[in-house]
Chains A and B, each alone.
Chain A
Amino acid sequence: MNPWVLAVGLAVVVPLVAVLVLNLGRDPRSVRSPLIGRPAPPFSLTPVGGGAPVSLESLGGRPAVINFWATWCVPCFEEHAALTAAARTFREVQFLGIVYEDEEAATRAFLAERGSSYPSLLDPEGRMAIAYGVFGVPETFFIDGTGRIVEKYVGSLDRGTIATLIARAKGGAP
């Protein structure tokens, strides 16, 4: 066999196969958020049920957990209890729900039935969802005391994961 043909063939095929093999475990649809490590985009939204608008500045330098959710989303339903319990445990962290493409009436009924320990804010025109680069629900952002996004979690959260990511937002061990 012509050694040149062999060399060129290997030079093309080996890296290609290596890339394919190395990426076998990756979710091809997950896109890493460019916001991680950056200041959280500002917002000012009204809570479900009315009241004064809640903004990023009103968090007063506390770490925050911002959870985008909707009543029509099954994984959101599944993680609701874990988030409610975590908000009671981690009182130094501000938990916020952001209602993503849902009716206020449905949201209010859901919260009345299932209970909640933190405010959920209405995002009627989806501005906050766009600013945070949300692809779907549930998606949860962990923000540190300086207002920087430390982590974005896509999917249903459990209590262990919430505790780990809060520790990271507080600057502790991951």
Chain B
Amino acid sequence: MKRFAFALLALVVPPPLAEARESRAPAAGIEAPRNHPPSGAELDARTNDVAALLRCPVCQGLSVADSPSSMARNMKAEVREKLVAGYDQEQILASFERSYGEFVRLDPPMRGVNWLVWLGPLAGLAAGGAAVAWALKRSSRNAGVAKGTDPAGAASDLPSRDTLPADPRLAAAVRRSRELAYGWPGGIPPKPGASAS
């Protein structure tokens, strides 16, 4: 149970762990370029792609690609330079992460506690689906138990000629009516096959 509680705690503590996460940002300097440098239209497109993954530090939730601020323009120029130097997307994002922390990435990288961000919604959906399925199953089983009949039979909801109201005075009236209408003695229906007429 204790372990379960810790697991639940881990589910809800991402904000204070942010500090620990940032200190785990890549420590090493930027390594050698891994890419063949793009040029022309491809360079423009790649610059935009990488800038779209970087958060503009002076804006409210805008990417470097979308922000008109001079800070974002400077960052975009640096992205472009690094692409020309042959660095790939991950190397460039990591270099910005070294100064701004993980905050600078608009997509949280898939590591450590961040997995919760990616898997949490799916886990929630699965847990919700399981809960709904369990509740449905239980309610249909309870309905069957309450009537003492086949839970699948919709017709079991209807009164038959064997059923009588619970209220004794009403039941007596129903029996009297059956006696008058059908000629059943005492209002009790004859057993199937017992009557020849």
Interfacial residues, chain A to chain B (CB-CB below 8 A):
11-12, 15-16, 19, 22-23, 31-35, 37-38, 41, 101, 125-127, 129-136
A133 contacts B99, C-beta separation under 8 Å: yes
B15 contacts A130, C-beta separation under 8 Å: no
User: Which of B5, B23, B74, B75 is A11 in contact with, Cβ under 8 Å?
Assistant: B5
A75 to B15, CA, bound (A): 29
A11 contacts B8, C-beta separation under 8 Å: yes
Whether B197 sits at the interface, judged by CB under 8 Å, is no
Q: List, in ascending order, chain B residues with CB within 8 A of A127's CB.
A: 74, 78
The residue on A at minimum CB distance from B69 is A101
Secondary structure type dominating chain B contacts:
helix
Interfacial residues, chain B to chain A (CB-CB below 8 A):
4-5, 8-9, 11-13, 15-16, 18-19, 22-23, 25, 27, 57-58, 70-71, 74-75, 77-78, 96-101, 103
Q: List, in ascending order, chain A residues with CB within 8 A of B74's CB.
A: 125-127, 129-130
A133 to B104, CA, bound (A): 9
Q: List, in ascending order, chain A residues with CB within 8 A of B97's CB.
A: 34
User: Which of B19, B71, B99 is A131 in contact with, Cβ under 8 Å?
Assistant: B99
A38 to B70, CA, bound (A): 27
A33 to B75, CA, bound (A): 18
B8 contacts A101, C-beta separation under 8 Å: no
Q: Which of B9, B70, B97, B100 has the most CB of A within 10 A?
A: B100
Could you list 14 A-B pairs, sorted by A, with CB under 8 Å? A11-B4, A12-B12, A15-B13, A19-B13, A31-B22, A34-B99, A34-B100, A125-B77, A126-B70, A126-B75, A130-B96, A130-B99, A132-B99, A134-B57
The residue on B at minimum CB distance from A126 is B74
The residue on B at minimum CB distance from A33 is B101
Secondary structure type dominating chain A contacts:
loop
User: Which of B5, B16, B71, B101 is A34 in contact with, Cβ under 8 Å?
Assistant: B101
A34 to B18, CA, bound (A): 11
Using A101-B71, A127-B74 as known contacts, say yes or no to A34 and B9 having CB atoms under 8 A apart.
no
A41 to B95, CA, bound (A): 11
A126 to B76, CA, bound (A): 11
Using A15-B8, A32-B22, A34-B23 as known contacts, say yes or no to A126 and B99 having CB atoms under 8 A apart.
no
Q: List, in ascending order, chain B residues with CB within 8 A of A132's CB.
A: 99
Q: List, in ascending order, chain B residues with CB within 8 A of A126's CB.
A: 70-71, 74-75
A136 to B56, CA, bound (A): 12
A15 contacts B22, C-beta separation under 8 Å: no
Q: List, in ascending order, chain A residues with CB within 8 A of B11's CB.
A: 15
A35 to B103, CA, bound (A): 13
A133 contacts B16, C-beta separation under 8 Å: no
B133 to chain A, nearest CB (A): 17
The residue on B at minimum CB distance from A28 is B15
A22 to B22, CA, bound (A): 20
User: Which of B18, B19, B27, B78 is A38 in contact with, Cβ under 8 Å?
Assistant: B27
Q: Which 6 A-B pairs have the closest CB atoms?
A: A133-B99, A126-B74, A34-B101, A133-B100, A34-B22, A34-B25
A15 to B27, CA, bound (A): 32
A136 contacts B58, C-beta separation under 8 Å: yes
B112 to chain A, nearest CB (A): 15
A19 contacts B25, C-beta separation under 8 Å: no
A12 to B13, CA, bound (A): 11
Q: Which of A16, A101, A126 has the most CB of B within 10 A?
A: A126
A57 to B93, CA, bound (A): 27
B98 contacts A34, C-beta separation under 8 Å: yes
